[in-house]
Amino acid sequence: MSLKLSGRRIFITGLSRGIGLATARLFLSEGASVFGVARDEARLDAARSALASVAMTPDHFDAFPLDLADADAPARAAEQIAERWGALDVLVNNAAIMTEGPITFEDEPPGTLERTLEVNLLAPFRLSRVLIPLLRAGREPRIVHVTSGAGTLAALDEPGISSYRLSKWALNGLVRLQAQHLVGHIAVNGLDPGWVKTDLGGPRAPGVVEDSARGALALVLEPFETTGKLFNDGHEIAY
């Protein structure tokens, strides 16, 4: 049986639950080596137990607690990845937060945008920046920023989750900008995972995390030349 991700070294943020966990599971089942982070140690331990049985060998998977909003988080991640692999093939910037409730940005609690940008934009920016040398040492290296249909230009006109929308719209900008600067060296694309049932997506979401994981796999298997684009479930979508 040929596995689609044999030999690929993949770092995933926010892999303790939701889309990150499902993506880690699918990537491991396709032969990848997966390493990742999230904040809550108990949930990370539960994820570790759940994923251990999917990994080809115990060496194929590990995770460590890290708050990506901490100033030293990017350097700590880079140190751990350098020690483990000395290179990186795929970075999946998946971790994010979302404040639900108010219809307009005026009613969001003060500091919501700042906190949201810290995790959803600045953390992916800082992490990808610090990991560029390790990615350059990888094979057909790629960055996947997990964005959202809520962050497209058209979706900015819709009500609710203002700070989240703005953070994902800016993240889409980061996809475009990094893709230009790194063309020929590191492919950079965005993944809209669809609206799926998770703590963030809520129980009313029509999809399930396995749908998002399938989209993540399709994106990681895109030709290396594919860069600066947004995808949903294997199909390119508009900014």
Ligand X SMILES: NC(=O)c1ccc[n+]([C@@H]2O[C@H](COP(=O)([O-])OP(=O)(O)OC[C@H]3O[C@@H](n4cnc5c(N)ncnc54)[C@H](OP(=O)(O)O)[C@@H]3O)[C@@H](O)[C@H]2O)c1
Is position 232 an interface residue for ligand X (rule: CB under 6 A)? no
CB nearer to ligand X: pick between 137 and 197: 197
Nearer to ligand X, 130 or 205 (CB): 205
- Does the protein bind ligand X through residue 121 (CB under 6 A)? no
Burial (0-12, 13-18, 19+ Cβ within 10 Å), 33: buried
Distance from the Cα of residue 109 to its chain's centroid: 26
State the minimum distance, in angstroms, from the CB of residue 222 to ligand X.
18
Q: Which two tokens stand for residue 236?
A: 């390119």
Interface residue with ligand X, options 94, 162, 163, 189 (CB under 6 A): 94
Kindly state whether residue 170 participates in binding ligand X, applying the rule CB under 6 A. Answer: no
Q: Distance (Å, rounded) from C-alpha 206 to C-alpha 55?
A: 29
Closest CA to 189 of 95, 90, 85, 97: 90
Using CB under 6 A as the binding rule, whether residue 213 contacts ligand X is answered as: no
Per DSSP, the three-state class of 197 is: coil
**Which residues belong to the active site?**
164
- CA 96 to CA 146: how far, in whole Å? 9
The least distance separating ligand X from the CB of residue 182, rounded to whole angstroms, comes to 21
DSSP 32-73: -EEEEEES-HHHHHHHHHHHHTTSSSGGGEEEEE--TTSTTH
Nearer to ligand X, 137 or 200 (CB): 200
By the rule CB under 6 A, 14 interacts with ligand X = yes
Among 144, 196, 219, 220, binds ligand X (CB under 6 A): 196
CB nearer ligand X, residue 141 or residue 201: 201
Task: Work out whether 26 is an interface residue with ligand X (CB under 6 A).
Answer: no
DSSP state of 149: G
Among 137, 195, 233, 237, binds ligand X (CB under 6 A): 195
**Exactly one of 146, 174, 175, 213 binds ligand X (CB under 6 A); which one?**
146
Contact 136, 180 (CB under 8 A): no
- Contact residues for ligand X, defined by CB under 6 A: 13-14, 16-20, 37-40, 43, 66-69, 94-97, 119, 146, 148, 193, 195-196, 198-201, 205
